[in-house]
Amino acid sequence: MIYREAGDFKASYRADGQTFPLRLDRTAYWALLAVAFLVVPFVITDYWATSVLVPFLIYAIAALGLNILVGYTGQVSLGTGGFMAVGAYATYKLTTMFPDVSILIHVVLAGGVTALVGMLFGLPSLRIKGFYLAVSTLAAQFFLIWLFNKVPWFYNYSASGQITMPERTVFGVLVTGPSTSAPAKYLVCLGFAVILAWLARNLTRGTSGRKWMAIRDMDIAAEIIGVNPLTAKLTSFAVSSFMIGIAGALFFAVYLGAAEASESFGINKSFLILFMVIIGGLGSVFGSFAGAAFMVLLPVLLKNVLVGGMGWPTDLAAHIELMIVGALIVFFLIVEPHGLAQLWRLTKEKLRLWPFPH
């Protein structure tokens, strides 16, 4: 009744291959974007921005990046935290060295720097696979964090070893620093998230995406049909790290304001983002957003219920949260290895026929 494709005729290949083939989906998508850009900035409060929406958008960008590597190319990485740190420190160095250049350009450049670093650490993937690769990406994680802690040049010789974001403006509006308004933070992150999601969607359905998926499904077979594993794997590492770097840059510049490498970008961050990708759905752009939303909302919800509602001590609630997250991961892998994205797909399939069973 609600969700029908009858009468939605395609007259060209282009129309047939679009991201949202159904008119209803398209309308919903544009409506969502309109609400996100035109309504939310006027009603957003500081609490919603700092504890829900801004982290959600930033983590969604990171999850998108990791999803390209893990979900589309099949190369498991546990070094996400380290790459986010590269993005953060690159932004910091760039913006303190060239204060006059727009922060938006710096964030993109930081993504580029992270892409280079990611390609460097992606080189071993040509020789080693599977678990060996997953573990060797931990080398990136630990080495990068150590580097940012030990080399004073990276944090401009500050006494505390922290990096602190100076105030920067975009079109005269403050976007970083402690006195930034909630709508400004939100809009910057939203802009990046939308552009990168659009980029990811179009890359993954084009030639490069098909090459990545061929490598994921079976690398030897892909090589035989003419996919160059060197370029496919390295472009995947580059694109993935680019997005993760931007996420790290925004995480530091817009969300945290001040960061310390091992605290903000430790191994736990790597796992958190990997969980978002698994729970959201491997190999799905929508899944990256769904997974990020889930993992950002869950702690907020649990905190409100356990600490606020039932009055339990915070440390106990934190442990229960660990248990619930762990159990949910296992549960998802058992019930639906393709994550929330697959559940969404199944729901849509069901809706097409509803109210009839077949």
Partner 1 sequence: MEQLLYVAELVMNGLMTGVMYALVALGFVLIFKASGVFNYSQGVLALFAALTLVGIQNGQIPFAHLINAMFGTNLHSFGWTVPSVLAILLTAGVMVLLALAIEKLVLRHLVGQEPIILFMATIGLAYFLEGFGDVMWGADVKTLDVGLPQGISDTAEAWTAQLTGYGFFIDRLDIWAAIVATALVAALVAFSQFTKQGRAMRAVADDHQAALSVGISLQFIWIMVWSIAGFVALVAGIMWGTKSGVQFSLSLIALKALPVLMLGGFTSIPGAIVGGLIIGVGEKLFEFFVGPMIGGATETWFAYVLALIFLVFRPQGLFGERIIERV
CA distance 193 to 145: 25
Q: For residue 135, give the amino acid letter.
A: V
Residue 309 binds to partner 1 (criterion: CB under 8 A): no
Here's the x/- map for partner 1, 197-226, by CB under 8 A: it reads as: ---------------------x-xx--x--
Binds partner 1 by CB under 8 A, chosen from 327, 347, 348, 353:
327
Contacts for 47 with CB less than 8 Å, ≥ 6 apart: none
Contact positions with partner 1 (CB under 8 A) in 96-135? 124, 127-132, 134-135
Binds partner 1 by CB under 8 A, chosen from 28, 326, 348, 353:
326
Q: 């796992």: which residue's tokens?
A: 271
Q: How far is the CB of 337 from partner 1 (least distance, A)?
A: 6
Half-sphere exposure of 131 toward its Cβ, with a 13 Å CA cutoff?
0
Nearer to partner 1, 72 or 186 (CB): 72
CA distance 123 to 211: 17
Binds partner 1 by CB under 8 A, chosen from 325, 342, 344, 352:
325
Contacts for 165 with CB less than 8 Å, ≥ 6 apart: 91, 92, 95, 176, 177, 252, 253, 256, 257, 258
Binds partner 1 by CB under 8 A, chosen from 1, 315, 356, 357:
315
Cβ(231)–Cβ(239) below 8 Å: no
CA distance 201 to 195: 10
Q: How far is the CB of 230 from partner 1 (least distance, A)?
A: 14
Binds partner 1 by CB under 8 A, chosen from 271, 299, 303, 351:
271
Q: How far is the CB of 98 from partner 1 (least distance, A)?
A: 27
CA distance 325 to 264: 20
For residue 355, whether the previous peptide bond is cis, meaning omega lies within 30 degrees of 0, is: yes
Q: How far is the CB of 140 from partner 1 (least distance, A)?
A: 8
Q: How far is the CB of 338 from partner 1 (least distance, A)?
A: 10
Interacting residue ranges for partner 1, rule: CB under 8 A:
74, 76, 124, 127-132, 134-136, 138-139, 142-143, 145-146, 149-151, 218, 220-221, 224, 267, 271, 274-275, 278, 312-313, 315-316, 319-330, 333-334, 337
